[in-house]
Amino acid sequence: MNTNFVAELKWRGMLHDIMPGTEEKLSEGMISGYIGFDPTADSLHVGHLVQIMTLIHFQKAGHKPYALVGGATGMVGDPSGKSQERNLLSEQALNHNVSCIAAQLAKFLDFGSAANAAVMVNNYDWFKDFSFLNFIRDVGKHITVNYMMAKDSVKKRLEGETGMSFTEFSYQLVQGYDFYYLWKNHQCLVQMGGSDQWGNIVTGTEFIRRKDAGTAFALTTQLIKKADGTKFGKSEGGNIWLDPAQTSAYKFYQFWLNTSDEDAKSYIRIFTLLNQEAIVALEQEQIAAPHLRAIQKALANDITIRVHGEEALQTAIKTSEFLFGNGSLAFLQGQSAAQVLSVFEGLPYFTLSKQMLSAGIPIIELLASHTSIFPSKAEAKKMLQGGGVAINKEKIELEEMLVGNEHLINNEFIVIQKGKKNYFLIQLVD
C-alpha cells in the first residue's frame, strides 16, 4: 500500500472519530469501505469534496472505495420535513441525478479494472423489492428505539422536540441496513462520513453485530467550518456546484482564490493532494510575501483543474487577469457563445440586435440609451471625457465614435469597461 490512510487523514486535519480497531484492521491489507451521497440534485457541490477526498485517500492507500448513492432514501426526501433541499423526487429524476453524480465521481476515483477499483452502488437496487413487513422483521427487531435514541446525532435532534416520527426512525434503520447489505454482499468493513453521521454509522455496526454477529468499523471526518463562523461551500449565489453548467469554472476558481489566509491553511491540506513538504513550502512563501497569496493560488489551481480540467483552469485564470489586471480578451477567440457567457457569468448583461450595429451606434447612445450602463447621456459623456470608458479593453476617448461590427468579439460580443472594475457584457443577436 502506498500510504497509511489514517495517518494521512490525521496530518491533514481531517480525522474526527475512529472506532477502536479500525486503524489496525486497515493495516492488514486491502479493505473495502464506503461513503454515502444523497442524489438530491444532478450535481455534487464543494460541500461533498471532503468525503470525495476521503475516498481518494482511501484508494491511494490501496483500499477499495465504494460510493453509495441513496436512490431509495432520496425518494423519501427529508424525513423530518425541514429541509427544502431534499424534496421528494421521482424515480426518473433520481436516475438522472445518479448518472450525473457517477460521471462527476469518475473524475476523482479510479473505476477501472484494478483490484481496488472504485465501485458505485445504489441502495434503490436492494430496497425496491423490500416489503414493509420484511423490513420490520429483518431490520426493525434488531435495533431498539432506546438504542437509536442513545446515539448523539439522534439525541440532539430530539432535544426540545416531542419525539421522532416513524418516518425518521425508519430512515435511520434504512441507513443502518445499507451498511449491513454492503458488509454482507460486498465485504465493506468500514463506513466513513462526516462527524454528524457518527450515530448513523455506529447504528450500522451494531446492526451487523446483532444480526450476524459480525464486526464492522467506523471513521468520520471533521465538518468544515470557515474561520469567521459562516457556512463553508456557500456564496452569495448559493451552492458552489461541481457542474460547470451550474457554477462556471471562473466562479469556481474565484471561490477558492478568495479564501481567507486562515482558512486557506486548512483547505490546502483537506482539498488538495499536495504533500506535507509542498504545503510547508507554500506556507513559508506566504509568510514571506502574503500579498502574492501563494496558498490560495495553489489551492484554486489544484481543485479547479481536477474538477474542470486544464483548459477551463487557464480560461478562469485569464478571465481573472482580464477583470482584475491587465489581461487581454484574446483568450475568448474561438470560444462558443455558451463558453463566453459562462466566462462572464454574473456580469451585467444586455442583448441588442446585430442589425442595429450594421450602420454603427454612437458610443453615447450605446452606453445610455440602448443599455443602462450609464443612467444618462450626460454621465456617459462625462466619463468618456475623463478617460473612464473602454471597449474590449481599449480606452475610448472620442465622444463621436461609432461602435460597429469591427468591435465584435467572435462576431457576437462587446465588453464595456466603466472605471477600473465595472464590466458589462453586450451580446449581439440576429
pTM of the model: 0.84
Assess whether pLDDT exceeds 90 at residue 162.
no
234-325 belongs to which CATH class? mainly alpha
Name the strand (E) or helix (H) holding 301.
helix 294-308
pLDDT tens-digit series, residues 219-259: 999 999 888 877 787 666 688 999 988 888 888 999 999 99
pLDDT tens-digit series, residues 46-87: 999 999 999 999 999 999 999 999 877 666 655 555 555 555
**How far is residue 295's CA from residue 303's CA, in Å, rounded to a whole number?**
12
Per-state percent for the chain, helix, strand, coil, to nearest 5: 50, 15, 35
**How far is residue 327's CA from residue 320's CA, in Å, rounded to a whole number?**
8
Domain range summary for the chain, segments of one domain joined by +: 5-221, 234-325, 349-429
| 349-429 has CATH 3.10.290.10 classification | yes
Amino acid of residue 408: L
Q: Of 249 and 150, which is predicted with more confidence?
A: 249
Cell of 388: 473612464
Which pLDDT score is estimated for 346?
73
pLDDT tier for residue 40 given thresholds of 50, 70 and 90: confident
Which of 185, 193, 194, 192 lies closest to 214, judged by CA? 185
**Is the CB of residue 425 less than 8 Å from the CB of residue 347?**
yes
3-class SS at 32?
strand
Which pLDDT score is estimated for 203?
85
Pick the CATH number of 5-221 from 3.10.180.10, 3.40.50.620, 1.20.1050.10, 3.50.50.60: 3.40.50.620
Task: Round the average pLDDT of the chain to a whole number and report it.
Answer: 86
